Amino acid sequence: MKPITARTKLLGVIGNPIQHSLSPLMMNAAFDASGIDARYMAFEVSDLESAVSGARSLGFIGLNVTVPFKEKVLPFLGSLSPEAELAGAVNTIVFGGSPEGHSTDGIGAVTAIKERGLYLGDADVLILGAGGAAKAISFAIAEAGAEVTIANRTVSKAESLSNALISAGYSSLYCSLSDIPLTKKYSLIINATSVGLNGEPSLLPDLPKYVYAMDLVYKETDFIAKAKSAGAKIIPGLDMLLYQGAAAFELWFDEKAPVDVMRSALEAKNVDH
């Protein structure tokens, strides 16, 4: 690892909680492999506005944004990419003239899904949650041709996201978490909430057999354990972390991300656990 100097470019991820994040491991491996003098750190944040303005003032190149700030960060940004504006959520900030908000969660999820062999063009996808990640992923999956059902504890949020998808010309339904129509033959079920991060039981007590299952929490959760028991094909959360991170890298440095190096860093850490 190169020493940090006054010339070292600074980046990081902000969230709360953040101790579980593997992004620093992945990103720093990418910088080293690319010969970029940069360091990436994780910051647990309570004052979001001060965190964004402080990072900009200190000359940070950019930030990733995670739970619970993907929607809350919007007022502190100067502009949004089309994807971020459509989703109403940001997971990547590029500093420059004014902070630019981007969303790489959608492309990260779609790339991970396609890599595991699922064709989204005629898929029925159930997304658990209606927060920032769910918004970005739902629009990207809908753009790929899937019908998206949004299930959320607060039904009004599920309805709002579903209506936004319909207004954009996509096919979407919504329901409460307690009233999911599991008789429908879903191709893919995605847990886009943080439930499972601290060992909580799955939002779905029973999963349909032989679907694809994806959890954005990238350790093995109760949701994934139940999916495996039901014979589901698993799309690891690490895959989405990898591809959304690669897209962020390319926004910051305008060069191809070393995806294989980033994957190896994540897999080595995963084996350690």
Omega within 30 of 0 (cis) for the link into 258: no
Alpha helices in 100-236 (DSSP H): 105-115, 132-143, 155-167, 222-229
Sheet holding 9-15, edge to edge: 38-44, 9-15, 62-65, 92-94, 100-102, 79-80
Q: Rounded to whole angstroms, how far apart are CA atoms 126 and 81?
A: 26
Q: Rounded to whole angstroms, how far apart are CA atoms 263 and 126?
A: 27
Active site residue 233: no
Q: Three-state DSSP class for 235?
A: strand
Whose CA is closest to 233, among 265, 190, 263? 190
Burial label, 252 (beta-carbon count in 10 A; 0-12, 13-18, 19+): buried
Q: What is the DSSP annotation of 179-215?
A: G--TTS--SEEEE-SSTTTTSPPPS-SS--TT-EEEE
Residues in CB range of 254: below 8 A, 6 or more apart: none
Contact call for residues 27 and 253 (beta carbons, < 8 A)? no
Of the listed 2, 70, 72, 157, which one is catalytic? 70
Whose CA is closest to 96, among 255, 252, 244? 252
The catalytic residue positions are 70
